[in-house]
Amino acid sequence: MPGFSRRSGLACLLATSGLLAGLAAQEIRSGTTPLRWKQHDIRRPRPPVVEPAAGPIEARPPRDAVVLFDGSNLDAWKSPDGGPARWKVADQAMEAVPGAGPIETRRRFGDLQLHLEWATPSPAHGKGQDRGNSGVFLMGQFEIQVLDSYQADTYADGQAGAIYGQYPPLANASRPPGEWQSYDIAFRRPRFDAAGKLLEPARVTVFHNGILVQNNEEPFGPTSWLKWLPYEHAGDRGPIALQDHDHPVRYRNIWLRELPERPAPTAEILARPKVIGLPAAILDQYAGQYLLDPKPSAPKATIAREGDHLTVSFPFRPEPLTLEAISETEFDMPDTYGRFSFLKDANGRVSGVVFRIGDSERNLKRIGP
């Protein structure tokens, strides 16, 4: 898989040493962002350093969490080739074993909230990308960079908290090497139509040590190196993968919550009651002021006729809202699950209206035209 294999790690090292520098200057394709930076442009401004609050960064998994690592074993993980995860577990943490390759979850996930904690080696070793490098791959495709960026420089789109090669973090919220740091990530997977055409890119939000570093960003495509790659529909789920970049980076307390799809309204729910036309004389009967609660000093709603329909306005929503007649006494709101049902007294005179909205119902008394 591109991006988190040892091979790409080696390529990064070669690039850092300048051997492949010429390739990085390739022309970028025009996309939705015309002013897109080239990958790894060293001129790209570094984000400001923001010191995170002192104190623990742990977040315990809520009841519905899928716990991926609780400090005891790598049962939830495997090598991409299907073999066992070849990282080590010690002191309630897992540690990348240089040369062992990446690990990925056995289960696959789509939209999620992910928490994990990581620590880069101490004492620090190396510089640039060769310093505490690892990464968290969402759906196995989108890398959130893990790197020792504490008082250590590299290109902006490759430092800790970057969506690698695309979006630098909004802040450098790094803690010193050896200290535990946290990522809290919200991920919305890309959406495709049945033919595999991209409908919506992925979206990524990341908090690094409690500080927002990626604010609902849309990756251009999967993490790739030297070249933008387009989105490809590879299913609605993928593994969480952790990169082996030849550095013994540690992880602990890894859990996620799978996020449900918001249900869309059915065609039956979307079907509106038939709107009818009423004569102006009938509509005019309903015009007037109505008390919003039984107290005489209560705020008032105003119902008026505008041409061939009624409107209602409230003190807190003074611009008139359209009411659509669905019977001689029932009126529906087009945007809100709300309905007005007018009441008449024994003399046939309009005395009030029942206003239902959501789960509430109010009887509004008519106090005059």
Cα 257 to Cα 116: distance, rounded to the nearest angstrom = 12
Residue 159 or 182: the one with the smaller Cβ distance to Mg ion is 159
Q: What minimum distance in Å lies between the beta carbon of 6 and Mg ion?
A: 11
Q: Could you say whether residue 221 binds Mg ion (CB under 5 A)?
A: no
CB 134 within 8 Å of CB 242: yes
Cα 183 to Cα 136: distance, rounded to the nearest angstrom = 10
Residue 217 or 244: the one with the smaller Cβ distance to Mg ion is 244
Backbone angles phi and psi of 338, in degrees to 5:
-140, 150
How big is the CA angle at 145 (ends 141 and 147), to the nearest 5 degrees?
Answer: 150
CA dihedral of residues 245, 248, 249, 255 (deg, nearest 10): 100
Structure tokens at 191: 């959406």
x/- mask, Mg ion, residues 237-266, rule CB under 5 A, reads ------x-----------------------
Per CB under 5 A, the segment of 13-21, 118-126, 129-137, 342-350 that binds Mg ion is 129-137
Residue 128 or 288: the one with the smaller Cβ distance to Mg ion is 128
Number of residues binding to Mg ion, judged by CB under 5 A = 4
Per CB under 5 A, the segment of 130-138, 201-209, 309-317, 341-349 that binds Mg ion is 130-138
Q: What minimum distance in Å lies between the beta carbon of 134 and Mg ion?
A: 6
DSSP string spanning 152-197?
Answer: ----GGGSTT-BTTTB--SSB-PPPTTS-EEEEEEEE--EE-TTS-
Cα 354 to Cα 348: distance, rounded to the nearest angstrom = 16
Q: What minimum distance in Å lies between the beta carbon of 359 and Mg ion?
A: 49
Cα 157 to Cα 241: distance, rounded to the nearest angstrom = 20
Per CB under 5 A, the segment of 24-32, 134-142, 187-195, 284-292 that binds Mg ion is 134-142
Q: Could you say whether residue 9 binds Mg ion (CB under 5 A)?
A: no
The conformation of residue 203, written as its DSSP 8-state character, comes to E
Q: In the complex, which residue's CB is closest to Mg ion? A: 135
Q: Could you say whether residue 140 binds Mg ion (CB under 5 A)?
A: no
x/- mask, Mg ion, residues 48-77, rule CB under 5 A, reads ------------------------------
Q: Tokens 């300048």 identify what position?
A: 18
Per CB under 5 A, the segment of 73-81, 118-126, 132-140, 346-354 that binds Mg ion is 132-140
CB 252 within 8 Å of CB 117: yes
Q: What minimum distance in Å lies between the beta carbon of 4 and Mg ion?
A: 7
Name the residue among 257, 45, 39, 251 with its Cα closest to residue 163: 39
Q: Which of 47, 135, 168, 288 binds Mg ion (CB under 5 A)?
A: 135
Largest CA distance in the chain: 94
Q: What minimum distance in Å lies between the beta carbon of 143 and Mg ion?
A: 6
Binding site for Mg ion (CB under 5 A): 133, 135, 145, 243
